[in-house]
Chains A and B, each alone.
Chain A
């Protein structure tokens, strides 16, 4: 059974000028021990998917349809207090900016011990021991001394390590990492990604890795979901999506990423920009930019259809048999 099952999730924001549908029928699942990458451009709804799963949608945003199952139990309709116990204990979260995630007024030890004691029944001494062992596990040198330091005494990369320790210290089954390396330099990014991969593998955790950086996904994830305008455009094994993308949007996205391996004269570009939420075209949301657009794309909105090794929300695959 899948650890996390998101089924037909719809998130809406009521505004004065009508309701905006920010997520529209998103379905995905994460198996135990799996790393699912979620990639897309700004405003595609990738962070919102993570926020909806941990139940931290900012009002007036609300889940308007669908359900979220963790270990087979619904968590999208839980009361606030019950959700508080799931957050941290069963789902850990790593956010983008390590400076705003940590409270500047408390030592990192205080914050770690608080998190550990909220979720696990441990004495002060045991909780502190556990906090120190997590700090050394995330690669903080001299953890026993550094535990009493304040966040401002750490560099950006070290802070992100502390944030990872905070997210993992109660040993959740699922970790939602929202752009965990975007605020970091590349050499530090490589360290953090390697660390995240190792820890989640060692502790058998599943990860939902949300990022705009396809390179990070290619290196880290097992499967990847590509989002566009609040929907999943394509989902499948990462090697297939990168090497043989089925959806024209994924194809354009892959082509537009400059590569270190080879230099091309012109990058492939997708003309235009992603539509705003209040102006999503009828039919397939990608149809105004799609090079392979045909009549049906303007009328019906495609669901995920089997397309060779992946599933793509594209009418090109409507007639194709499952294993074409």
Chain B
């Protein structure tokens, strides 16, 4: 590898304790129940690129987003930011400043009682990047202009803006600490499509101009295709397929990736009909033994039901599937 990755996750796992209270558990003689939200996930993001994680509800993608910015420690494994373990990097304001997050819901992530200029200035003040009211006001104006708002908008409150404009404010706030690494957790899923296009274009412009690195979380594969360099597909806490986005979209290997790609209604689909894959995502509290996808998988056999597949390299792509590893392909 020519350059050390900006962010690297090595075998990270996150468990949540979802047991009932102690007394009830003791009376019913139940063991503790653990939910494994993320199970041995590894990935690396190189500087200036975008890694996207996609998957359906409950697959652990937002949990990874939180761990990547240090909002939550992993229960196992390690995350490194430029080679430094995140647990120690978070203790250094100089490194902490360089990572930030954009949230899904622009209605919930801005304080309704603060003026926009204070919202955007908060990271500047928190990290003491600039001092003096004038310098800060000038910088806030610059940031607002950068995301396509007017510097005078700083005097308004969040409720005076539409959803798309609020998401621009969130982006301005995220950029205020002059980060290199941004975690974007479903940044456009609360927005209408024409506004989504504005935000996606803005994020791409900013990436090119400021050399940002993105970890992009989404459930929408079409959006992901538009933004990503690399792609990870998640199912029940595991990254089941990971590799260059174009390769995965051109030749998806894992049966779940193929299912997802087939399931998306597309404008090209006019008048076409198809047979959707049945079944639903099992509960992460009691995942099925073996490969978690086997109850829905058209290629599953006895080995898949018993043995959890490891990641194997197939060209540039890492995939966790016995059927792919054995070359057991039936169409």
Contact = CB atoms under 8 A, between A and B. Distances in A.
A190 interface: yes
**Residue among B198, B201, B270 with most chain A CB within 10 A:** B270
B200 to A, nearest CB: 6
Interface string B161-189: 01111000000000000000000000000
Interface string A182-211: 000111111101100100000000000000
Nearest to B200: A267
B281 to A, nearest CB: 7
Given A266-B201, A267-B201, A256 B193 contact: yes
Contact of B194 (A219, A243, A256): A256
A263 B225 contact: yes
B27 interface: no
Contacts of B21: none
A72 interface: no
Nearest to A241: B270
B40 to A, nearest CB: 23
Nearest to A240: B270
B273 A194 contact: yes
B171 to A, nearest CB: 15
Contacts of A243: 270
Contacts, number: 136
A42 B190 CA distance: 10
B222 A185 contact: no
Given A186-B219, A187-B260, A194-B276, A212 B267 contact: no
A187 B226 contact: no
Contacts of A176: none
Contact of B265 (A41, A185, A216): A216
Given A242-B267, A261-B266, 18 more contacts: A41-B194, A185-B56, A186-B263, A187-B277, A187-B280, A189-B265, A190-B263, A190-B265, A191-B277, A214-B267, A215-B269, A218-B266, A238-B270, A239-B271, A258-B223, A259-B222, A263-B225, A267-B197
Interface of A: 41-42, 155, 157-158, 185-191, 193-194, 197, 212-216, 218-220, 238-239, 242-243, 252-261, 263-264, 266-271, 273-274
